[in-house]
């Protein structure tokens, strides 16, 4: 989403860093480019004006212009101000002192509210909570069924109720949660194509009936600046405590994420980054700022790895590497876990400095799919002992995977080269041995 903005800002900072000394004119010229880049990214004009004004005031200071690395100091100032613009620090969900914490999701129709309710429940369940999903959208027939399907698939209870009144359903859900020893209630409310009085009155009545700990506004990143006025409307009428931005993996220009926090004063708590149940991530302003500025986001990469990679399996793999027993079966398992972490191109973008390299543009996620298909087309015996793969076996594997024999040979060659590299690192007389003795 922020790719174009990141590219524009990298050019601006590259020009600044190429100068030994900076003048006030250099800074002003750079700030004009930053301003244009942000406006093109669909950031609210008032937000851009305030943001650029604060940076200019700090960057034109004597301590910056006369420093040995003025370009880097300007980048540091932009990073600091961008982090503040996005909220400063991660804002976690507030938990109630009572036995049950209730969260109420609101928003316009089509923002992904029902899907987000399910993802939030999934996230809380993984955090050792006992959530209950509540279907309070009585106007869209598919909403309750959508929640039910999600809940059944992920082991999360869903309360639908028999009433045609959303307030009664919400109240009934709270009692159901108490009776069944659940500690978190997540209410999916109805939406409209636009804010209207009927919708707001119903939301106010639900709020009065269940007294939610937090009201979370779900907004679609794809609708751009309209989402800012939507956020203001909901906040003024019912009061919101936080924001969840969906479809942050899309190709919108991303201005909503840089505008809505500043305009409403409410923190962004989560962002939706895909269609899977696990694709709802806590929002960290400092990490997002680093990614926008091309500095990478190694902490988010570590978080993804922790959630995707099985610890026991990783230890078993380490042992196999040490004893040089790595098979295509192991290789396949590791590729599957990498695939769970998301797009390889996005993962590379989280590595500091990688976004500046052209190699990132050449990464094709479909290549990973092809490798997995080739290995899937092998028998268990072939995966454990690739040496038995003769011409006829390779032909069968190529046909079964829809790839060419050349691609099969290429994969086998790369796998053998990888094993040799691992052998070099794990050999007692090699680097690992030396590091061990040094330790």
**pLDDT tens for residues 92-101?**
999 999 899 9
d(CA 242, CA 147): 22
CB 247 within 8 A of CB 216: no
- What sign does the CA torsion over 280, 285, 287, 290 have? positive
pLDDT at 435: 38
pLDDT at 1: 58
CATH number of the domain where residue 379 is located: 1.10.260.30
pLDDT at 317: 55
Q: What are phi and psi of 192, to 5 degrees?
A: -135, 170
| Average pLDDT over all residues of the chain | 81
Average pLDDT over residues 96-114: 92
Instruction: Tell the residue number behind the tokens 């060659």, with chain if given.
Output: 413
d(CA 177, CA 161): 13
Share of the chain above pLDDT 70, in %: 79
User: Picking from 23-32, 238-247, 289-298, which range would have the lowest pLDDT averaged per residue?
Assistant: 289-298
Instruction: Tell the residue number behind the tokens 């695939």, with chain if given.
Output: 339
Q: Is 203 contained in some domain?
A: yes
**Which residues of 183-296 form beta strands (DSSP E)?**
184-189, 214-220, 242-246, 268-272, 280-282
Task: Give the confidence band of 384 by pLDDT, cuts at 50, 70, 90.
Answer: confident
How is residue 59 written in tokens?
A: 């960057």
Neighbours of 336 (CB within 10 A): 13
pLDDT at 305: 55
Q: Is 96 contained in some domain?
A: no
Neighbours of 13 (CB within 10 A): 19
Torsional class of 434: left (φ above 0), alpha (ψ -120 to 50), beta (otherwise): alpha
Return the closest-CA partner of residue 237 out of 198, 181, 277: 198
326-344 pLDDT, tens digit each: 788 877 877 777 666 666 6
Whether 379 and 414 share a structural domain: yes
- End of a domain among 272, 295, 318? 295
Whether 204 and 277 share a structural domain: yes
Domain holding 64, by residue range, is 3-85
CATH number of the domain where residue 68 is located: 1.20.120.140
61-92 pLDDT, tens digit each: 766 766 667 777 888 888 888 889 888 888 99
8-35 pLDDT, tens digit each: 888 888 887 777 777 888 888 889 998 9
CB 254 within 8 A of CB 221: yes
Which residues, including other chains, have CB under 8 Å from residue 244's CB and lie 6 or more apart?
105, 116, 120, 216, 217, 218, 219, 268, 269, 270, 271, 272, 280
392-433 pLDDT, tens digit each: 999 999 999 999 999 999 989 888 877 776 666 555 444 444
158-177 pLDDT, tens digit each: 999 888 899 999 999 999 99
pLDDT at 360: 46
- End of a domain among 260, 277, 295? 295
Which residues, including other chains, have CB under 8 Å from residue 5's CB and lie 6 or more apart?
37, 38, 40, 41, 253, 254, 292
Q: Is 350 contained in some domain?
A: yes
d(CA 30, CA 28): 5
pLDDT at 201: 92
CB 355 within 8 A of CB 296: yes
d(CA 71, CA 78): 11
Helices (H), 180-225: 197-210
298-332 pLDDT, tens digit each: 455 555 555 555 666 656 655 655 555 678 887 78
Burial 194-233 (b: 16+ CB within 10 A, else e): ebeeebbebbeebbeebebbbbbbbbbbbbbbebbebbee
pLDDT at 437: 40
Q: Is 95 contained in some domain?
A: no
How is residue 402 written in tokens?
A: 């829809």
pTM as predicted: 0.68
N residues, the chain? 439
d(CA 267, CA 290): 18
Q: What are phi and psi of 95, to 5 degrees?
A: -105, 135
Average pLDDT over residues 137-156: 92
Share of the chain above pLDDT 90, in %: 35
Q: Is 250 contained in some domain?
A: yes
More confident residue, 288 or 358: 288
CATH number of the domain where residue 283 is located: 3.40.50.300
Whether 350 and 239 share a structural domain: no
Domain count, the chain: 3
Whether 169 and 245 share a structural domain: yes
**Cα 414–420–425 angle (5° rounding)?**
125
Whether 357 and 279 share a structural domain: no
Neighbours of 332 (CB within 10 A): 16
Q: Is 120 contained in some domain?
A: yes
d(CA 112, CA 302): 27
Query: What element of type H or E holds 104?
Result: strand 101-106
Q: Is 92 contained in some domain?
A: no
- End of a domain among 242, 275, 295? 295
């Amino acid at each position: 989403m922020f790719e174009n903005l990141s590219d524009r800002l990298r050019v601006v900072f590259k020009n600044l860093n190429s100068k030994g000394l900076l003048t006030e004119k250099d800074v002003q010229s750079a700030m004009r480019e930053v301003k244009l880049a942000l406006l093109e990214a669909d950031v609210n004009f008032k937000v851009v004006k305030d943001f650029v004004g604060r940076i200019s005031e700090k960057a034109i200071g004597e301590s910056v212009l006369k420093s040995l690395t003025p370009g880097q100091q300007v980048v540091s100032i932009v990073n600091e101000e961008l982090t503040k613009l996005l909220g400063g620090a991660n804002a976690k969900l507030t938990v109630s002192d009572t036995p049950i914490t209730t969260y109420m999701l609101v928003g316009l129709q089509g923002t992904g509210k029902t899907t987000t309710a399910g993802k939030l429940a999934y996230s809380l369940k993984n955090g050792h909570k006992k959530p209950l999903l509540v279907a309070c959208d009585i106007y869209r027939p598919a909403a309750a069924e959508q929640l039910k399907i999600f809940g059944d698939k992920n082991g999360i209870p869903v309360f639908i109720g028999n009433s045609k009144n959303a307030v009664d359903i919400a109240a009934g859900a709270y009692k159901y949660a108490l009776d069944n020893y659940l500690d978190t209630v997540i209410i999916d409310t109805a939406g409209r194509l636009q804010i209207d009085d009927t919708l707001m009155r119903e939301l106010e009545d639900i709020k009065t009936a269940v007294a939610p700990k937090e009201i979370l506004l779900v907004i679609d990143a794809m609708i751009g600046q309209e989402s800012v006025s939507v956020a203001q409307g909901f906040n003024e009428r019912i009061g919101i405590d936080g924001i969840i931005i969906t479809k942050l993996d899309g190709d919108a220009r991303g201005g909503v994420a840089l505008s809505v926090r500043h305009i409403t004063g409410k923190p962004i708590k989560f962002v939706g980054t895909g269609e899977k149940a696990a694709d709802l991530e806590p929002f960290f302003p400092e990490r997002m700022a680093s990614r926008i500025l091309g500095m990478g986001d190694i902490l988010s990469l570590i978080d993804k790895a922790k959630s995707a990679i099985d610890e026991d399996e990783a230890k078993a793999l380490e042992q196999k590497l040490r004893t040089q027993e790595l098979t295509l079966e192991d290789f396949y398992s590791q590729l599957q876990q990498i695939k769970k972490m998301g797009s390889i191109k996005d993962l590379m973008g989280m590595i500091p400095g990688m976004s500046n390299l052209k190699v990132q543009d050449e990464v094709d996620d479909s290549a990973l799919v092809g490798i997995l298909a080739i290995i899937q087309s092998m028998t268990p015996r072939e995966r454990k002992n690739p040496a038995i793969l003769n011409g006829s076996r390779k032909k069968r594997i190529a046909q079964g995977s829809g790839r060419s024999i050349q691609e099969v040979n290429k994969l086998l060659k790369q796998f053998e080269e990888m094993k040799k590299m691992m052998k070099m690192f794990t050999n007692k007389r090699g680097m690992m041995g030396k590091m061990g003795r040094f330790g």
